[in-house]
Structure 1
Amino acid sequence: MSSLPPSSFSAIPAKNKTVIIGAGFLASYIAKTLVASSSRNTVLLASRNPEKLHSKLSHLGNQILPAKANVDISKGEGLDELLKGASTVVNLVGIMHGSPALFDSVQWKGAQNVAQASEKAGAKLIHISAIGADPTSPIDYWRTKGLGEQAVLEFSPKATIIRPSLVFGPGDGFFTRFANLAKYLPFLPVFGGGTSLFQPVYAGDLAKAIEIISRSSSDPEVAAMVDGKICEAGGPTVYTYKELMQLTLKYAEKSRPILSLPYQVGLLQGLVLERLPENLFTVTRSQVNQLRSNNIVADPLPSTTHVSFAKVLAAFPPPAVPSSAPPPKAKTEAEVLTPAEEILPEYLGSGAEDGGVLERVKGGKRMHGGKGFQG
């Protein structure tokens, strides 16, 4: 039996193992994008309950590694073992409801635990935060997102932080939720006139950016652009909150009035509903207060600490896929961002495909949707 000489093994490319912590909506997009981009990429899903998402991805074969359950980043136990051999770690864990202590333990101390373990493993950390993150904010969600960012860069200085605006795509928790609410409510509510601004970003574009950033360990050009940087991620269009409701109704094919309520009414609703088990109608006082502020990419971006989301996507196109067709034309920064109007018909209303779960082929790469929850 013939065998390769020892020197030949060094020429065999090593596998790139990515650990995704948090088995929700965005994790599906990231995992499928990583698998589609290279046969060398393997993905390990880790969360408290990753089994459902893992089963949906099992058709991708041995690039999807056995999932790791009962992972609790707030305690940090087992993270060192979990991240052994990882080249990239993506921390998606976040919460929308809970006490100040719970926000502290998950979004601040939990982020710190992941950063310390990633640095110990020698892995590139990609930390998902949120536009509005501010350690001085009176709103626990934004306060702990800001404190988490500080901890990440303190303990893992080459980490990249992504701050998305509202994330959309099949399986999302915004457009899908309000389309469902329109089935039961005689109107859709907005607060304070619905004038706050949002810049929805497509989950598939976020997944592409994360795949690019994951190359930083082996690509000096990527590293020079993204290491230690904050990337605020928004889509090509800024909408008011009321306009988002109008988009929802249009593509869900529903006719409902949009009713503006005073913020005080929303706060009273939150006072009651946040004490009940989470359901389709849940709203919290914190969420209502968040609507008082715009949720859009800073303009201009701080030049030394931030990097443009569109610039990352345009500078590093997807890896070439073997094909007899000519390679796709490179896109400009203005062309790389996917508009909501292109995607919403695919999962809202009668035009939805396969119950809102869609595999898309775009630009030579498979892009997938999936249902789930954040964290």
Structure 2
Amino acid sequence: MPNDLVTVFGASGFVGRHIVRALTAQGFRVRAVCRKPNLANYLLPAGHVGQIQLLKANINNEEDVARALEGAVAAVNAAGVLFGHGLQSLEAINADASGRIARAALKADVGTLVHVSAIGADTQAISEYARTKGLGERAVHEGFPRAVIMRPSLVFGPEDAFFNRFAAMARFLPALPLIGGGKTKFQPVFVGDVAAAVARAVSDPAMAGRTYQLGGPKTYTFRALLEFILAETGRKRLLMPLPFWLAGLQGFFLQMPSFILPIKPMLTVDQVRLLKSDNIVQDGAFTLDDLDIEPTSVEKIVPTYLWRFHPKGQFRDVQRLAAH
């Protein structure tokens, strides 16, 4: 039981909460950095009494970041946004804050920094999300050269924004959009595997300076994933091919309210741009296999939380058994 302190930025997010759980399971004390710690009390049961400390901090503020790193032996940056709003813009969070955390970690003599990025991160990408993720990686390398970069593909788990979102849409819509014809490829990775990889990086000095691409055991097209969602939720819906240009037009109008109100849009122009590129692990990259982590399949995990979107809810399996 190391009993060492690890600072986790973005601890209350989807990936961050699982990272906190993985670190506490290894015996680390965790300083969970959040913008609104009063809404993050659900993190506390992930550890023993006193093992997790909630800290209010703004990662856009250098003093807050420095204070969050005091006494930490390692830090994890799991902060990131898919759609920006106000001061929480893509540039500010994905790029600028990443560099700020890296520089502060080096100054605070933190031993290890793990940065959660994304497959497709590229400073020259047409998507602002992918571009700012690429800028963030560059800033991290410049500020903390021995940082470990984690690039997950589409991350799935009980709180994910992909399977849950499309399952919810299928409850009310007669058709689901096949943006770009549904040909884009994904390699979905379980959030628990991502968290395990991050926790391993915190405690393994041999991983310093490496970039890992994290993907699951199988690749799927966008169409195949929607078909899987419909099968698991017992819904029969039309899959309507939607050209990129038309999807971009819809995204333009759907994102407009989010420029005024702090709400997450169903679709944005930038998300359509993201779908123009496959999201899979590249040949020759460091992967989960190099960490002796066996990737968990979509089929094993996703049905355990999509049942609530089925017309029969938790009784869907009773119906299946009766049919046999």
- For normalisation by structure 2, the TM-score amounts to 0.88
1:309 to 284, 288, 292: 288
Partner-residue secondary structure (3-state), 1:275? helix
Tell me, in whole angstroms, the C-alpha distance in 1 between the residues paired with 2:184 and 2:218. Answer: 14
Tell me, in whole angstroms, the C-alpha distance in 2 between the residues paired with 1:107 and 1:133. Answer: 10
Q: Provide Cα deviations, 1:121-168, integer angstroms capped at 9, x if missing partner.
A: 222111011111111123211111111101101111111000110000
For residues 5-44 of structure 1, the aligned pairs below 5 Å read 15-22=3-10, 23-38=12-27, 41-44=28-31
Tell me, in whole angstroms, the C-alpha distance in 2 between the residues paired with 1:256 and 1:156. Answer: 49
Alignment of 1:82 onto 2:71: no
Indicate the residue corresponding to 1:367 in structure 2. none
Alignment of 1:146 onto 2:104: no
Alignment of 1:52 onto 2:39: yes
8 Å CA contact retained: 1:35, 1:63:
no
Shift of 1:66: 2.7
Alignment of 1:94 onto 2:83: no
Alignment of 1:166 onto 2:154: yes
1:129 to 117, 127, 131: 117
Shift of 1:73: 1.6
8 Å CA contact retained: 2:186, 2:222:
yes
8 Å CA contact retained: 2:6, 2:74:
yes
For residues 315-354 of structure 1, the aligned pairs below 5 Å read 336-350=294-308
Partner-residue secondary structure (3-state), 1:68? strand
Indicate the residue corresponding to 1:196 in structure 2. 184
Indicate the residue corresponding to 2:320 in structure 1. none
Tell me, in whole angstroms, the C-alpha distance in 1 between the residues paired with 2:292 and 2:17. Answer: 19
8 Å CA contact retained: 1:100, 1:140:
no
Letter of the structure 2 residue corresponding to residue 308 of structure 1? T
Shift of 1:31: 1.3
Number of matched pairs: 306
Indicate the residue corresponding to 1:183 in structure 2. 171
8 Å CA contact retained: 1:163, 1:233:
yes
Letter of the structure 1 residue corresponding to residue 226 of structure 2? M
Letter of the structure 2 residue corresponding to residue 213 of structure 1? A
Letter of the structure 2 residue corresponding to residue 247 of structure 1? F
1:282 to 257, 266, 275: 266
8 Å CA contact retained: 2:288, 2:295:
no
Q: Structure 1 or 2: larger helix share?
A: 2
8 Å CA contact retained: 1:24, 1:53:
no
Letter of the structure 1 residue corresponding to residue 251 of structure 2? G
Of structures 1 and 2, the one scoring higher in RCO (CA 8 A, sep 6+) is 1
Deviates more, 1:166-175 or 1:48-57: 48-57
Q: Provide Cα deviations, 1:190-235, integer angstroms capped at 9, x if missing partner.
A: 112100100000001111111111102xxxxxx22x1111101100
Tell me, in whole angstroms, the C-alpha distance in 2 between the residues paired with 1:117 and 1:280. Answer: 30
Partner-residue secondary structure (3-state), 1:61? coil
8 Å CA contact retained: 1:126, 1:161:
yes
8 Å CA contact retained: 2:167, 2:309:
no
Partner-residue secondary structure (3-state), 1:163? strand
Tell me, in whole angstroms, the C-alpha distance in 2 between the residues paired with 1:68 and 1:273. Answer: 34
Q: Provide Cα deviations, 1:93-146, integer angstroms capped at 9, x if missing partner.
A: 111123799322221111000001111222211101111111112321111111
1:66 to 53, 61, 77: 53
8 Å CA contact retained: 1:177, 1:280:
no
Alignment of 1:250 onto 2:231: yes
Shift of 1:308: 2.3
Letter of the structure 2 residue corresponding to residue 154 of structure 1? E
Indicate the residue corresponding to 2:276 in structure 1. 292
Letter of the structure 2 residue corresponding to residue 91 of structure 1? N
Shift of 1:64: 3.4
- CA change 1:275–1:350 in 2 (3 A) is closer
Larger Cα Rg: Structure 1 or Structure 2? 1
8 Å CA contact retained: 2:31, 2:68:
no
Tell me, in whole angstroms, the C-alpha distance in 2 between the residues paired with 1:196 and 1:92. Answer: 25
Shift of 1:268: 0.8
Q: Provide Cα deviations, 1:242-263, integer angstroms capped at 9, x if missing partner.
A: 1111111122222212111111
Indicate the residue corresponding to 2:319 in structure 1. none
**What stretches of structure 2 of length at least 5 have no aligned partner?**
315-324
Letter of the structure 1 residue corresponding to residue 178 of structure 2? V
Shift of 1:50: 3.0
8 Å CA contact retained: 2:14, 2:159:
yes
- For normalisation by structure 1, the TM-score amounts to 0.77
